[in-house]
Structure 1
Amino acid sequence: MTMVYKERTFFGTDPGDAAANQPADLETRVADTLAAMRDIEASDVSVVSRGNTIVLSGFIGSPEEADRAVEAARSVEGVDEVVNQLTIPDMRT
C-alpha cells in the first residue's frame, strides 16, 4: 500500500503564509519592535491593526518619542500606514 501526502494548505494558501498575514501577527510584530527600542517608553502604547494600517494609541513621553514610534511601526514589513493617536501627558502641575 502506498501513501500519498498532499501539500498542506489553508484555504488554498500555505499555512505559514496565511498566519503571517493575520492582523494579530502584524500587531505583535509592531509591538515587539516598539518594545525593543531603548529610546521609547512604549509600555502604555496600544497597537491595533486594521488590515495593513496600524493605529498607535495610549500615552508616550514626548513628541519625539511619538515620532520615533510611528517611524518604527512604519518600518515593520506589511505595514502600509500608521495612524498616530498617541497622547503626550501634560507634565505641568
Structure 2
Amino acid sequence: MVFKPQTFHGDTPEIDEPAGSAGTEARVADALARAADLDATQVSVTEVDGAIVLGGMVLYPEEVAIAGDIAERVGGLPVRNTIRCQSETPRGARS
C-alpha cells in the first residue's frame, strides 16, 4: 500500500500543539503522572496569572513536596501548591 503525503487543499496541514498555559499545564500534568513516587490521580494542574497552581489530594505528606518540585522544574513558573494530604503519617511509617 502506498500512502500519499497529507495535504489540506493542496497545502501541508498545520498540526496544532497546545500553546501557552495549556501546553504548560499538559507538560506538568504529564510529568506528575509519570512520577514513580507520587500518586497524582487526584491532583489538578492549572496556570493562573503566570503561576502553576496545584490542587487536589494525595495520600502522604511527602507527595505534596514531590509534586511541587516536579511542577517547578517542568513548568518553569512559580508554583502555588494547594494540595492536601489524607494522612499525616509519612509513607512507610507505622502507627
TM-score when normalising by structure 1: 0.69
State the identity as a percent.
Answer: 34
Shift of 1:52: 3.1
Count of aligned pairs between the two proteins = 74
Q: Which runs of 4+ in 1 moved over 4 A?
A: none
User: Which residue matches 1:84?
Assistant: 81
For 2:26, give the aligned amino acid: T
1 CA distance for matches of 2:35 and 2:82? Answer: 19
TM-score when normalising by structure 2: 0.68
User: Which residue matches 2:41?
Assistant: 43
Q: Which consecutive unaligned segments of at least 5 residues does structure 1 have?
A: 1-14
- CA displacement, residues 2-38 of structure 1 (integer Å, 9 cap, x when unaligned): xxxxxxxxxxxxx9xxx66510000000000000101
Change (3 A) 1:39 1:55: same
**RMSD of Structure 2 on Structure 1 (CA):** 2.1
